[in-house]
Amino acid sequence: MKRTTSKAPTRKSTGKQRRTRSDSVKGHQEIAVSLFAGDLAPPPHVKLRERDIPFWNDIIATRARVLWNESDLAIAAELARVKSDIEKIRDELESEGDIIENQKGTKVVNPKRYLLIALTGQALSISSKIQVNTEATSGKSREGRKVKEKEDDVKTKIRPALQDDLIPRRMN
């Protein structure tokens, strides 16, 4: 009886470039090089307000630098703006209260409460889109978490060099 061997199905190329494994030497090199590149900034066509910057920094810190692309950075900037707006509306609600009087003197729910609900939903939706929500940063996104751990490890090891003013850095 002649035995035939079946070939494993081959995967057709989709034209997408595969991401370098974070646990490879090349992956470590990419992480180290990205750390010397300076802070990540939104794409030039995307503007952030001064009050958005702390939210931007928090969002960008959730993923390893090598995992961010231009499209994700633009979406992250939008998320930073939305989170900043949420805090602004919360501050206004705190001073105005949830119940206000309308022009007729009737007590009504402050319309800013509804705006806050809408902005919060938008923030959750955007967070899921760019995978900076809790599940993405702590749950199923194992590879992203590994890359972030490697980046933190490399950052700890090269921190003294990062603080050295003699190392040339790319200017943004």
Answer for the pair 137, 96: CB distance below 8 angstroms, yes or no.
Answer: no
For residue 95, what are its two tokens?
A: 């001073």
Cα–Cα distance for residue pair 31/48, rounded to 1 Å: 26
Answer for the pair 91, 135: CB distance below 8 angstroms, yes or no.
Answer: no
| Half-sphere exposure of residue 42: CA atoms within 13 angstroms, side-chain side | 20
The DSSP secondary-structure symbol of 105 reads: S
Per-residue model confidence (pLDDT) at position 135? 54
Per-residue model confidence (pLDDT) at position 89? 97
Answer for the pair 19, 43: CB distance below 8 angstroms, yes or no.
Answer: no
Read off φ and ψ for residue 100, nearest 5 degrees: -130, 170
Domain map (residue ranges) of the chain:
25-162
Question: pTM of the predicted model, to two decimals?
Answer: 0.62
Question: Which residues of the chain fall below pLDDT 70?
Answer: 1-38, 133-144, 161-172
Per-residue model confidence (pLDDT) at position 13? 45
Answer for the pair 45, 171: CB distance below 8 angstroms, yes or no.
Answer: no
Per-residue model confidence (pLDDT) at position 79? 96
> Taking CA 90 as the corner, what is the angle to CA 89 and CA 94, rounded to the nearest 5 degrees?
115
